[in-house]
Structure 1
């Protein structure tokens, strides 16, 4: 079976062609990049997607060396994401489905990240740390659903990083997060920031406000550098994420952790997750920017899993939504997968002071 997938929930437009065994035949992408100090607006991002989507579909078909007749279904991102860009891909998917007489499958963007991460890394039943510009969730599979164990209560970690990059005028090419990561490697002074973990949830809005004030005050006085602030921000927010992820692993008895989403490309986050997992007798799984960052292949592959298990989106319901929860999707393609027993290190308990 073959599927074509269209992804355009944010500033990255991707088209991919994938076999049901996970073989990626093509995975092309074009990113809308704005000047330093600015973000991407829905209207402008939608215009970018309209400009490039047809040529990306043609390129994906050409690189996959297939004909449209060979496709079994057309898959597209139903949500969550930005309204304007999502609508562009939904319209194109409906057009292709009617033109090529193929069934449609609307795919949850978050679930697609998870399934792409699983097939690329070989992780069987991991706790998932899903971190991107629009989403921050700690997830584990149970009873035909991806259950959310913790999440941000305000803005996503990727949004926090992107907005800080605008404050210090870092380039958006190839992405603000990547440039923060490179600058953080040169930082030497740790600037203390708020550490906001509330149970299994995290908060980043206050950290962003705090570091903005610090940047205005200390950068002018040359008491620290932009590199120091990038280093401090990364260390703080990643420590928060690793803490909640470890707690979910202990609760679920999992020995595997998988990082997905655009921020999941960050090498420092990989390192911190690996240290945590190894100390628990487990393993961390990560991917590179080909599969972590939004792409069409993840939509095509997840759409095939859904299509093979009876999920088809009628043309009249082939819409999109900005709010589409990860745990709303019936994940009936996984079934009841056996889990290995958790090692002794996986038992988590609070460290109480000696009386």
Structure 2
């Protein structure tokens, strides 16, 4: 029997998940939400995490009916992410490790998303589209590494959505991207936006700049509604993601696509990707907000796979980093 605690807090969500032999026993989380028009500042986000991390830990242990003396390892997000929130969670993980003599496992945030999604969906060896607030990557596994075939060359797709939500002064509750998705469902008029795919890479800053300059004027003139602008943004950026993912599928000879990361919850993105997969006689795998959005169980899942291979992190190596690439990790737990 192997029990792993996973601790995630790389951005505005803090979550703690507990797994027993790969089975999720608990997975509570809390989100730091700011007023409309504002993003979240790292230092303020860290204060939020500091204020509720022990409460979430207690909730996770009670729900799982597990005590700390039964835990075999504590997995925590090593990076990438925002420095202050990462440090907050890593400090708690280190403290618990020292107090209870429990091994630590530093987990790559992106790998956590991938392995959680693979476990939940049963996807075998898919082409992965990883889309979140801080990351946008097209990934495929080869020879003990998750190789990045394409990525954003500037801002992540989730960051693009978040910043556009600020332009429209949309609520951040439950998330800017969700509120854009709901408005986009009512949009009818498509605004032509810059479409920027460069080989396997994508760029979103030009689209955002275009909208920053014109959105309010278009709304004032009544040419487009907020719903139309949200619809136009989604259709454009998601088409870019589907195009690069399809190209990676063709290169790898893959028949599966797995979407993970917070933006992966978006039903329109899933629909567009599913259409592409069906046209290629392939299959789409995706999850809902329980596992797409940052959570502790995904860190526990990656930690569980690493622990089974004998991977742990010494205290002196339990530092965190804002830059920790997906393809920096040696994936020793896969034998395919």
Q: TM-score range by the shorter chain?
A: over 0.9
1:237 matches 2:274 = no
SS at match of 2:220: coil
1:6 — aligned with what? 7
Alignment of 1:286-297 (within 5 A): 286-297=286-297
**Alignment partners' CA distance in 2, 1:222 and 1:275:** 33
1:198 matches 2:198 = yes
Check conservation: 1:187, 1:228, Cα contact below 8 A: yes
**Alignment partners' CA distance in 1, 2:58 and 2:326:** 31
1:342 — aligned with what? none
**Alignment partners' CA distance in 2, 1:296 and 1:18:** 10
Question: CA shift at 1:66, angstroms?
Answer: 1.1
Alignment of 1:122-141 (within 5 A): 122-141=122-141
**Alignment partners' CA distance in 2, 1:164 and 1:194:** 15
Deviations for 1:249-271, whole angstroms, at most 9, x for unmatched residues? 00001100000000000000010
Check conservation: 1:117, 1:287, Cα contact below 8 A: yes
Question: CA shift at 1:15, angstroms?
Answer: 0.3
Deviations for 1:17-72, whole angstroms, at most 9, x for unmatched residues? 0123x310000000000000000000000000000001101110000011111111
2:161 — aligned with what? 161
SS at match of 1:30: strand
Give the TM-score taking structure 1 as reference length: 0.94
| Structure 1 residue runs of 4 or more that deviate by more than 6 Å after TM superposition | none
Check conservation: 1:28, 1:56, Cα contact below 8 A: yes
**Alignment partners' CA distance in 2, 1:311 and 1:231:** 45
SS at match of 1:189: coil
Question: CA shift at 1:276, angstroms?
Answer: 0.5
Question: CA shift at 1:216, angstroms?
Answer: 2.3
Question: CA shift at 1:223, angstroms?
Answer: 0.9
**Alignment partners' CA distance in 1, 2:89 and 2:178:** 26
Corresponding residue pairs, total? 335
SS at match of 1:153: coil
1:82 matches 2:105 = no
Alignment of 1:316-331 (within 5 A): 316-331=316-331
Give the TM-score taking structure 2 as reference length: 0.99
**Alignment partners' CA distance in 2, 1:19 and 1:287:** 21
2:211 — aligned with what? 211
Question: CA shift at 1:220, angstroms?
Answer: 1.1
**Alignment partners' CA distance in 2, 1:186 and 1:165:** 16
Question: CA shift at 1:214, angstroms?
Answer: 2.1
Check conservation: 1:127, 1:254, Cα contact below 8 A: yes
Question: CA shift at 1:211, angstroms?
Answer: 1.3
1:283 matches 2:293 = no
1:298 matches 2:298 = yes
1:176 matches 2:203 = no
Superposed CA RMSD in Å reads: 0.6
The answer for unaligned runs of 5 or more in structure 2 is none
SS at match of 1:134: coil
Check conservation: 1:129, 1:259, Cα contact below 8 A: yes
1:308 — aligned with what? 308
**Alignment partners' CA distance in 2, 1:279 and 1:297:** 34
**Alignment partners' CA distance in 1, 2:236 and 2:224:** 17
**Alignment partners' CA distance in 2, 1:189 and 1:282:** 31
Question: CA shift at 1:317, angstroms?
Answer: 1.1
Deviations for 1:277-336, whole angstroms, at most 9, x for unmatched residues? 11111100000000000000000110011111121100111110000000000101012x
Check conservation: 1:80, 1:323, Cα contact below 8 A: yes
**Alignment partners' CA distance in 2, 1:97 and 1:201:** 40
Check conservation: 1:19, 1:301, Cα contact below 8 A: no
Check conservation: 1:265, 1:289, Cα contact below 8 A: yes
**Alignment partners' CA distance in 1, 2:311 and 2:237:** 37
1:347 — aligned with what? none
